[in-house]
């Protein structure tokens, strides 16, 4: 294996492994592929558990797979989009649906209007030949046959003004929109929970279990099941362990080579530095390691338990390479590979390859690159 491949694998380990620990039930969901992604503080009722959302942020899917926000017992709106970074949800005012010319009211919801200025708008039902000299918003969706429906700011001309050939339908109170076009999506903001920092860092926000505080966790990915993630995490850990071992072996054999020819200090190698770290007290001392039987591959026919490959670096043993055997279990490795391990661990890598130890070693080894 080439060194850059090894480093690439180590990199993927560190990028991929955090997902193994994420809170897997709260994966993002959506009502359909074209609908907004739903994640904390929102959740889809019946699809994502309670704790995946924040109180008051429940959404649902309707019969047409549209995302629905219920603002009051009688009023629900279709959600157009959600900006998690800006903490804004865009809802369709839906004036075109029957009996939907009503005021939006966000009191008793977690939301506020992004524009604090409210205005009264009046809807008019006009005959086709109406003429308005004042700005109006046409609603072709409500118009039919010989009648057009328009909306105008109430009292924009003078109180009680009705355009010629028009009849007043209804007045509603709405937040002012940028260009006065009340048919465009309505922006609702929320301030609590505050997740903008998490979002900016590409992390996910979630509810702490004990109170209503939020915390940032590593980002969740869609479409990988909990067990698959766990398996992937462990798989990557093992792969990374093997790779780092290989790299350690490779580097130390290089250093050994340098030593032989240039008489350089072994300390110049970052890998060789590991045993000098304060944490290294967990392993065996040099004298104990040296007391373990060492053989030269190919020279002794009685080399115990010699497999063709060193499980640490995954390179085949070659003639004249030094091997070391752990007497308690007779497992054999390249001497330079197992020596690095034993400086940090008292037990055989194969026998006691517990997750924690593997991780610990990995952590130490990687810190030095």
Residues at the site binding ligand NAG, with contacts judged by CB under 6 A: 32, 64-65, 103, 105, 107-108, 125, 127, 129, 142, 145-147, 149, 165, 173
Angle of helix 226-262 versus helix 355-367 axis, rounded to 10: 50
Q: How far is the CB of 76 from ligand NAG (least distance, A)?
A: 16
Rg (CA), the chain: 34
For ligand NAG, the closer of residues 151 and 272 by Cβ is: 151
Helix axes 335-342, 226-262, angle to 10 degrees: 120
Q: Which long-range contacts (CB under 8 A, 24 or more apart) does 206-214 make?
A: 206/23, 206/26, 206/40, 206/52, 207/40, 207/51, 207/54, 209/51, 212/54, 212/55, 214/40, 214/54
- Look up residue 34 and give its DSSP letter: T
Residue whose CB is less far from ligand NAG, 43 or 229: 43
CB of 332 to ligand NAG, least distance (A): 56
Q: Name the minimum Å distance from CB 275 to ligand NAG.
A: 57
Q: Is 123 exposed, middle or buried (0-12, 13-18, 19+ CB in 10 A)?
A: buried
- Nearer to ligand NAG by Cβ, of 144 and 261: the residue is 144
Closer of 22 and 174 to ligand NAG (Cβ): 174
Q: Which is nearer to ligand NAG, 165 or 322 (CB)?
A: 165
> In DSSP terms, which residues pair with 81 in a beta bridge?
90
Phi, then psi, of 167 in degrees rounded to 5: -125, 140
- Entry field: residues in the chain: 369
Separation in Å, CA 178 to CA 91, 104, 117: 16, 17, 11
What's the closest the beta carbon of residue 120 comes to ligand NAG, in angstroms?
10
What six digits make up the tokens of 338? Answer: 């197992």
* Least distance in angstroms from the C-beta of 52 to ligand NAG: 19
76 versus 165: smaller Cβ distance to ligand NAG: 165
Instruction: Provide the 3-class DSSP secondary structure of residue 358.
Output: helix
Minimum gap (Å) between residue 164 Cβ and ligand NAG: 8
CB of 136 to ligand NAG, least distance (A): 15
Task: Using CB positions, name the residue nearest to ligand NAG.
Answer: 145
- Contact between 251 and 265 under an 8 Å Cβ cutoff? The reply is no
Looking at the Cβ atoms of 103 and 305, the one nearer to ligand NAG is 103
């Amino acid at each position: 294996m080439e060194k850059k491949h090894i480093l690439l694998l180590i990199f993927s380990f560190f990028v991929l492994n955090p997902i193994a620990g994420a809170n897997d039930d709260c994966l993002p969901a959506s009502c359909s592929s074209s609908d907004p992604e739903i994640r904390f503080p929102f959740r889809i009722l019946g699809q994502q558990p309670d704790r995946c959302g924040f109180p008051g942020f429940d959404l649902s899917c309707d019969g047409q797979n549209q995302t629905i926000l219920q603002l009051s017992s009688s009023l629900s709106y279709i959600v157009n989009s959600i900006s998690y970074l800006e903490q804004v949800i865009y809802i369709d005012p839906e004036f075109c649906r029957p009996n939907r010319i009503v005021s939006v009211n966000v009191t008793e919801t977690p939301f506020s209007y992004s524009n604090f200025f409210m205005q009264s708008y009046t809807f008019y039902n006009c005959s086709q030949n109406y003429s308005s000299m004042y700005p109006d918003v046409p609603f072709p969706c409500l118009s039919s046959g010989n009648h057009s429906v328009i909306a105008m700011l109430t009292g924009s001309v003078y109180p009680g003004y009705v355009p010629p050939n028009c009849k007043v339908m209804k007045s509603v109170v709405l937040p002012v929109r940028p260009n006065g076009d009340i048919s465009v999506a309505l922006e609702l903001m929320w301030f609590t929970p505050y997740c903008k920092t998490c979002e900016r860092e590409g992390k996910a926000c979630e509810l702490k279990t004990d109170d209503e505080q939020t915390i940032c966790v590593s980002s969740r990915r869609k479409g990988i099941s909990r067990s698959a993630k766990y398996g992937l995490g462990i798989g990557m850990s093992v792969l990374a362990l093997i790779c780092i071992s290989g790299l350690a072996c490779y580097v130390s054999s290089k250093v050994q080579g340098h030593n032989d020819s240039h008489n350089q200090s072994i300390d110049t190698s970052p890998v060789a530095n590991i045993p000098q770290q304060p944490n290294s007290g967990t392993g065996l001392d040099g004298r104990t390691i040296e007391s373990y039987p060492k053989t030269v591959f190919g020279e002794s026919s009685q080399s115990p338990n010699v497999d063709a490959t060193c499980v640490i670096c995954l390179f085949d043993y070659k003639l004249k390479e030094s091997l070391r055997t752990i007497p308690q279990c007779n497992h054999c490795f390249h001497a330079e590979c197992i020596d690095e391990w034993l400086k940090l661990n008292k037990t055989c890598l194969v026998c006691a390859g517990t997750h924690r130890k593997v991780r610990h070693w990995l952590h130490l080894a990687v810190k030095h690159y």
